[in-house]
Structure 1
Amino acid sequence: MVPSEWIGQSPRYEIRGTTSLVTVGECHYTGVNGTGGGTLVQAHMDVQVTVTDLATSQLVGSQTFEGSTPGPCPETAVFSQGETSRTITGDVSDAASVGFLPWLSGLTGMPLPEQMTLAVLAHPVEVVGASFSSDGRFLATFGDDSAWVWEATTHQQLRQLADLPAEVSSAGFGPDGNLLALAIGESVQVWDVTTGNKAFDLVGHTNLVTSVSFSPDSSTILTTSADNTIRLWNAADGTERASFKSDKSGFAMPISSACFSPDRQSIMTVNGPGTVEFWYFNGTWQSELNLYVTNPVIRASYSPDGRYVVTVGRDDHVEVVIWDLTSGQIVNQLIGHEGPVNGAVYSPGGRYIVTAGTDGIDSTMEPGVNLQSETAFLQRGSARISTNMARGALTTK
């Protein structure tokens, strides 16, 4: 849990942890013909950490970190003979590994590792992707037929949009953070997250909408679809402005995602396996540059300064890769998800990268290596906020 560089031959602090169980609910089960059965007691395991200065024997600080809570009651439960009650818990490691290091750093002045996970947002379903508002205030995550809006600094859930008409495949905030566009089936719903009301729909695609995003000046919404079109919409009223296809090879390529460059001078699309295409406007939108990737790519996102691109692919070992657009070379790789990664996006200041996956695993990244093996198992899905490793150091916002 403690970075290796904090451990010296002459330790200055003593760190102690005490765990405790906090009951939060019960699940009751009845056996055959109303006999037998039992109770599952739901609890979260907390850890209280105390830090003592060994030189003065004075208590420096004490903090309790709350473990994750189990999900809904299982439909069935099996009890051994004579067993009538059993306690089930979430894992304590997510709270300890994510909250512990920043707290200890602030308490003692020890520097944080340059590469580490800063937060884990637990979800009841597989997390398909995530999107920051451009002002950095909000983070949207989505999966299945729901989307969640989080306060990006405190990581508190602000709103859930549930029971949508189909699975959410993409999401994008308007620059002011008030509007959130959700790709749902063949259309896009634009929501006012401050009120929880739907503002309008974008209708016109004839197949699944694969991505949605706003232009940096908030005037245009960009969408891609399995109908092989890229469409631009008026962000004020939802009317269509333009539509074009990627057909340089003589046939329409499947398009899985698109986004504007930070300077609004180009659009980046992910077309089929292994091709990232860049479009420029010269009377019409034309493709002028390609980034060819060895492994299949499903998502790509710019860094806020436009210098880097983070791609999400399908590979046995490396799925999240950071590219330098000036050189066209890989500058870093994010390794650690033990299940498929669905998306990766930079925070507005470039300080963080959020990855969304299906493994429900949180990992802490240490200096000099891509990943250490510290993990925390969540319910079904997770979104991870990590320090930006493009330059090998923690950048400032």
Structure 2
Amino acid sequence: AIKRVTLGPENLPSICCYTLLNAAHTVTCAEIAEDSSVLAVGFADSVVKVWSLMPQKLRSMKPAEVLQEIDIEAEDVLARIMDDRSAETTRSLLGHNGPVYKVSFSPDRLLLLSCSEDGTIRLWSLMTWTCLVAYKGHTFPVWDVRFSPHGHYFATASHDRTARLWATDHYQPLRIFAGHFSDVDCVQFHPNSNYVATGSSDRTVRLWDCITGNHVRLMTGHKGSIYALCFSIEGRFLVSAGSDCRLLLWDLAHGHLLAELSGHSATVQSLAFSRDGHILTSGSLDCTIKVWDFTKLTEEVTLEDVNISHNPEIKKNSDSYLLRSYATKSSPVLCLHFSRRNVLMTVSIDR
């Protein structure tokens, strides 16, 4: 069993920073898999690259004629079907026809989604390193793509002012979430996979019901485009951030704004909760990572009697919740990820 470190004000996370150096083309996005074993990076030249973060290299499946001879009932069938001679530290995935804006791993790490300026979403196999499907539905660039926490379903956000819900085995979207008045810049699944949150250049955050397709919450308070969304571990709260350099905390039960955390001096690109939910982290283009005491914040917020008619006082004393601010070596932060042991892993780009 993995021993998870409990984080808090007296026990801040260890941080492992990955910086992309000397990239031949502009880095547009990065994502670390749930098991922290691989890193995927999207580039402006339409390439997606995948790196192994473990000693084990990235292997490919054996050719079809060899697979026919393997006993599929064997206990070690997964080991047998992989070709050790094909092992490489990095793999390149080619197929998009424009900058890749976001990548997302499936929970089992066997699949990778990518979205691009070309209006398509591609599903890649991380066993054969080939494109399985190109989903075409959006008519304009697709800014964000996210796998559901349970896999199979995924959501996209686009310049066409819609977000869409898809299933990996359907060519067409299952739901179209329309209602924003400008680009939908980011999308995030609720931990129970029944709801999708979207952030837009119209400065609003919306919550959608995946089953009915209905819009169930409208949250206003941002002063600029929203580029990052993150649900709390138990799903009660939503944090949003973007070009106004602030983090806003929302109560999902009633849609109230509960807190406003400021301190960044440039667009906030990424948010992540520790695995135990005690710590919230934010990464920004100002080349800093900020660590916030989420437990203290929510304890103070829930002391108030929050209901539909009572709009609580918005907490704005950011300094009392900020545990630490870490500066990178002039590297804007693209991605934050907590490993299963609560190590904070970050990806940034060298300018």
TM-score when normalising by structure 1:
0.51
Distance in 1 (CA, whole Å) between partners of 2:343 and 2:93 is: 21
Answer yes or no: is the 8 Å Cα contact 1:135–1:348 preserved in 2. Answer: no
- Equivalent positions of 1:188-203 (< 5 A) are 188-203=163-178
5 Å-filtered alignment, 1:87-98, equals none
Cα offset, 1:130, TM superposition = 2.6
The answer as to 2:133 corresponding to 1:159 is: yes
Q: Quote the residue 2:56 is aligned against.
A: 102
Provide the secondary structure at the position in 1 that maps to 2:56.
Answer: helix
Aligned to 1:224: 199
The 1:134/1:190 distance shift into structure 2, 3 A limit, reads same
Tell me if structure 2 keeps the 8 A contact 1:128–1:356.
no
Amino acid in structure 2 at the alignment position of 1:179: Y
For residue 255 of structure 1, the aligned residue among 212, 226, 242 is 226
- Give the Cα separation in 1 of the matches to 2:264 and 2:280: 12
Matched, 1:292 2:266: no
Cα distance, 1:302–1:157 mapped onto 2, change above 3 Å = farther
CA distance in 1, matches of 2:278, 2:114: 25
Partner of 2:237: 266
Instruction: Give the whole-Å Cα distance in 1 for the aligned partners of 2:291 and 2:237.
Output: 17
1:306 aligns with 2:297: no
Equivalence for 2:208: 233
2:322 corresponds to which of 318, 328, 332 = 328
Aligned pair partner of 1:177 in 129, 139, 151: 151
For the structure 1 residues 189 and 236, does the alpha-carbon distance in structure 2 shift closer, same or farther, using more than 3 Å as the test?
Answer: same
Report the Cα offset of residue 254 of structure 1.
3.6
SS of 2:191 mapped into structure 1: coil
In 2: Cα distance, 1:138 partner to 1:285 partner: 36
Q: Is 2:269–2:283's contact at 8 Å kept on the other side of the alignment? A: yes
Quote the offset at 1:208 in angstroms. Answer: 0.8
| C-alpha distance in structure 1 between counterparts of 2:339 and 2:131, whole Å | 19
Deviations 1:247-267 (A, max 9, x none): 6xxxx4443332211211210
Distance in structure 2 (CA, Å) of the matches to 1:348 and 1:303: 8
The answer on whether the counterparts of 1:223 and 1:231 sit within 8 Å (CA) in structure 2 is yes
**Matched residues, number:** 246
Q: CA deviation at 1:285?
A: 2.2
RMSD of aligned residue pairs (Cα, Å): 4.1
Secondary structure of the 1:102 match is coil
Indicate if the aligned counterparts of 2:245 and 2:263 stay in contact, CA closer than 8 A: yes
**C-alpha separation between the residues in 1 aligned to 2:344 and 2:93?**
18
Kept in 2: contact 1:191–1:199 (CA 8 A)? yes
Deviation at 1:160, TM superposition (A): 3.1
Q: Is the 8 A contact 1:280 1:288 kept in 2?
A: no
Would you say the 8 A contact 2:181–2:202 is kept in 1?
A: yes
Deviation at 1:180, TM superposition (A): 1.2
Distance 2:105 2:133 in 1: 15
Q: CA deviation at 1:273?
A: 3.1
Contact 1:138 1:177 (C-alpha < 8 Å) held by counterparts:
no
Shift in Å, 1:102? 3.1
* Structure of higher CA gyration radius: 1
- What is the CA–CA distance in structure 2 between the aligned matches of 1:334 and 1:140, rounded to whole Å? 28
Unaligned runs of 5+ in 1: 1-70, 73-89, 105-117, 362-397
CA distance in 2, matches of 1:268, 1:206: 21
- Measured against aligned partners, the alpha-carbon deviations of 1:47-69 in whole angstroms (never above 9, x if no partner) come to xxxxxxxxxxxxxxxxxxxxxxx
* Partner Cα separation in structure 2 for residue 168 and residue 189 of structure 1: 10
Residue 259 of structure 1 aligns to a residue in which SS?
Answer: strand
Task: State how far apart, in whole Å, the 2-side matches of 1:239 and 1:122 are.
Answer: 36
**How has the CA–CA distance of structure 1 residues 192 and 298 changed in structure 2, closer, same or farther, with 3 Å as cutoff?**
same
Q: Percent identity?
A: 18
The answer for unaligned runs of 5 or more in structure 2 is: 1-44, 59-88, 295-320
The residue identity in structure 1 corresponding to 2:215 is: E
**Do the aligned partners of 1:130 and 1:141 also contact (CA within 8 Å) in 2?**
yes
Aligned to 1:139: 112
- 1:33 alignment partner in structure 2: none
- 1:346 pairs with 2:300: no
